[in-house]
Amino acid sequence: MPRRHAEFRQAAIDIIRRLRDNGHVALLAGGCVRDMLLGLDPKDYDVATDAVPQRVVELFQRTRQVGAQFGVVLVKERRIWVEVATFRSDHSYEDGRHPVSVTFSDPESDAARRDFTINGMFLDPLAEEVIDYVGGQRDLRAGIIRTIGPAPQRFAEDHLRLIRAVRFAGRFEYTIEPETREAIREHAAMITRVSAERIREELEKILKDAHRAAAVRLLADVGLLDHLWPGSEWTGERIDLSAAMLEKLPKRTGFVLPLACLLIHWPRQEVNSVCRELTCSNDVRKRVVWLVERIEALTDAQALGLADLKLLMQSPDFGNLETLTGAWLEATGRSTEAYRRIVERASEVSRDEIAPEPLIDGDDLIAMGLSPGPLFSTVLDRVYRAQLEGGVTTKAEATAMAKGLADGSTQEA
């Protein structure tokens, strides 16, 4: 177990031990139990206890009451913040995400209000004993995603569970149990009531996972893909192309590249709008738009000049563009010959040739007697492109070219 995970686990165990020493029931709960049973390193460790929030605050020196109304307190142990939640039962969900009220309860009742059986187990880390009231171990062994209790009720309570079911199925390569799957189809439109931010967070986790292509196909199959953002309209052809492209990506990748694969069918302006609808950061939005807009840039070796290639290579996403274009060509069955020639050509460009300092700038143009205006950018751009092409190599040559361009424009005017 890597050191970071060992420290997180020990912090949670220390908290459990102190709660136990003070007469309380305390267990590891939820996703960390699932991951440990699967032999995975949990991202975090959650503690569930019969101690009410105020009691937790009394027992530990460093705490934050982040959701005391729901029984949740953060406790700092070994410089690590651990979520400690009181066993509870939830009552009526009015907003499709959060219970109106809760009642503090016991482990069995707490398990009954959770989403899926594989997430509803507890572990006593001191006795190394799994406490399973919901059949989670059975479904882990069988590779099944199943709601705890009636699926329609679970999804009506919390609509985000619709997409979470798909995420877990994709991540673990599990099958969604038939009744659960049918309930997702029936309630798919409810996902529109969930905040765009939460949808984007789940979508990001799906697309960053190695099994992203299968998960996207599953999103389409259960009817969720058409509801992830306004105007999310999918044909079988679109689904097949995006999934095929996603299959070509490296197993480990960020959010930008797979999101570009998903949005490859939309025009640039619509891609921009979709990213805004999903509350993507400005950085992610601009990068995805840049990639989609240039999907064909590396497919015509004749049309792509050296300056054009270097300008593309100046982007930190040029590597992503190479990957995206290769995936697109292979997924559509097009020839990759020209693309491979361009990629080889790019590999031969030395790093210091990609973005050299311009030989002249605006001050130089002013010194020539030009007044700042639209002509400035045109002249500077053309001179810089000539520099990137290798046709202009000295400041004197750049100055002479700029004068010629300026004089020619003045005569035309």
Question: What is the 3-state secondary structure of 67-94?
Answer: EHHHCEEEEEECCEEEEEEECEEEEEEC
Q: Is the pLDDT of residue 412 over 60?
A: no
With CA atoms as reference, report the closest residue to 356 among 401, 387, 318.
387
Mean pLDDT of 360-366: 91
The mean-pLDDT minimum among 30-44, 124-138, 399-413 falls in: 399-413
326 with 408, same domain: the answer is no
User: Average pLDDT, stretch 338-362?
Assistant: 95
**pLDDT given for residue 4 in this prediction:** 75
- Is the Cα dihedral 134, 216, 253, 255 positive or negative? negative
Residue 52 lies in a domain: yes
> Domain boundary at 139, 167, 184, which?
139
DSSP assignment of 142-159 equals HTEE-BSS-HHHHHHH-T
| Claim to verify: residue 86 and residue 36 sit in the same structural domain | yes
Same domain, 347 and 378: no
pLDDT at residue 32 greater than cutoff 60: yes
* Mean pLDDT on 381-396: 95
Give yes or no: residues 374 and 350 share one domain.
Answer: no
Asked whether residue 261 is assigned to any structural domain, the reply reads: no
Nearest to 308 by CA among 300, 316, 406, 261: 300
Q: In this structure, what DSSP letter does residue 51 have? A: S
Q: What is the pLDDT of residues 192-245, one digit of tens each?
A: 999 999 999 999 999 999 999 999 999 999 999 999 999 999 999 999 999 999
Mark whether 134 and 90 lie in a shared domain: yes
> In terms of domains, do 319 and 366 share one?
no
Ranges 86-95, 149-158, 346-355: which has the least confidence: 86-95
Q: Which residues pair with 145 in a beta bridge?
A: 176
**Reported confidence tier of residue 384, pLDDT bands at 50, 70, 90:** very high
DSSP state of 174: P
User: In a 10 Å sphere around its CB, with 0-12 CB exposed, 13-18 middle and 19+ buried, how is residue 98 labelled?
Assistant: middle
Centre a 10 Å sphere on the Cβ of residue 344 and count the other Cβ atoms it contains. 10
Averaged confidence pLDDT in the chain: 93
Shared-domain flag, residues 48 and 132: yes
Report yes or no on 229 lying in a domain: no
In a domain, 214, yes or no: no
Local confidence band at 94 (pLDDT 50, 70, 90 cut-offs) = low
Question: Is residue 31 domain-shared with residue 119, that is, in the same domain?
Answer: yes
Q: Is 160 a domain residue?
A: no
Residues 313 and 393 in one domain: no
136, 292, 279: which is closest to 202 by C-alpha? 279
Confirm whether 78 is domain-assigned.
Answer: yes
Shared domain for 63 and 101, answered yes or no, is: yes
pLDDT at 262: 97
For residue 153, tell me if it sits in a domain: no
Same domain, 337 and 367: no
308: pLDDT strictly greater than 60: yes
Domain holding 118, by residue range, is 1-139
- Looking at residue 81, which CATH number applies to its domain? 3.30.460.10
pLDDT digits (tens, 9 = 90+) for 152-192: 999 999 999 999 999 999 999 999 999 999 999 999 999 99
Domain count, the chain: 3
Tell whether 31 is covered by a domain.
yes
Q: How confident is the model at residue 314 (pLDDT cuts 50, 70, 90)?
A: very high
Final residue in a domain of this structure, among 79, 105, 139: 139
If asked whether residues 394 and 314 sit together in one domain, one would say: no
